[in-house]
Amino acid sequence: MNQTPFVITIGRQSGSGGREIGRLLAERFDIACYDKEILSMAAQESGLGPDVFERKEGRKGFFSSFIGVVQPFIGGGGDFYNNQLSEENLFVLQSRVIQKVASERSCIFMGRVADYILRHHPRHLDVFVAADLDDRAARIMERKKVDRKTAKSILEECDERRSDYYNFYSSGIWGAADSYDLCINSSVLGIERTADYIAQFAIEKLGIEPVELR
């Protein structure tokens, strides 16, 4: 069996259950699942406070320092820390942390354009999770304790932000089938069975040691 670390990246619509699916997959394969933890790790790496990353998260700015920065897997070069702090530079810091972690251990990354950042990784699976609008709205209503109209407004705003961020920093299109290895609607099978389906797909694509699906 291939012992090279593998990574699963998960992009998702807001309210699709993608985060829960990521956690379930992490349990299936006994690996870490990184979401906002990456922000803390990038903050520690840079010496900046985590609030800097949280304020900038999901926002796009001028495309001033990105060209040539997200280099082939575990690429380097350049004295980043002497550059002016900007949204793009914060993205670079986050990208380098993602690359470093992915080179050291098998893991799952939620969003953060990780599929594009890790496009040269030797063993990666890129997944996008969608869901029916009614199911998504119901999750937001429960999570945020808001009415249906407000929930739909939250979904629209969040998805627009994610789409803008992804489309700005990658060469793909957020949610488009040809940007990923697998796109799946979690409303069809439900959260747990969707996780099972992705796990089986990962076993086949990445050559992972089969695991018992619960």
pLDDT of 47 higher than 70:
no
CA distance 192 to 115: 23
Reduced to 3 DSSP states, what percent helix, strand and coil does the chain have, rounded to the nearest 5?
Answer: 50, 10, 35
For the chain, state the CA radius of gyration. Answer: 17
pLDDT of 91 higher than 90:
no
- Yes or no: say if 198 and 21 are a contact pair by the CB < 8 Å rule: yes
Average pLDDT over residues 115-126: 96
> Is 41 domain-assigned?
yes
> Is 210 domain-assigned?
no
Task: Using pLDDT thresholds of 50, 70 and 90, give the confidence band for residue 83.
Answer: very low
> Is 110 domain-assigned?
yes
- Structural domain count, the chain: 1
* Residue 196 pLDDT: 96
Q: Dump pLDDT digits (tens) for 173-206.
A: 999 999 999 999 999 999 999 999 999 999 999 9
CATH code for the domain of 42: 3.40.50.300
> Is 141 domain-assigned?
yes
pLDDT of 37 higher than 50:
yes
Domain of 13 in residue numbering reads as: 7-202
pLDDT of 78 higher than 50:
no
Residue 19 or residue 45, greater confidence:
19
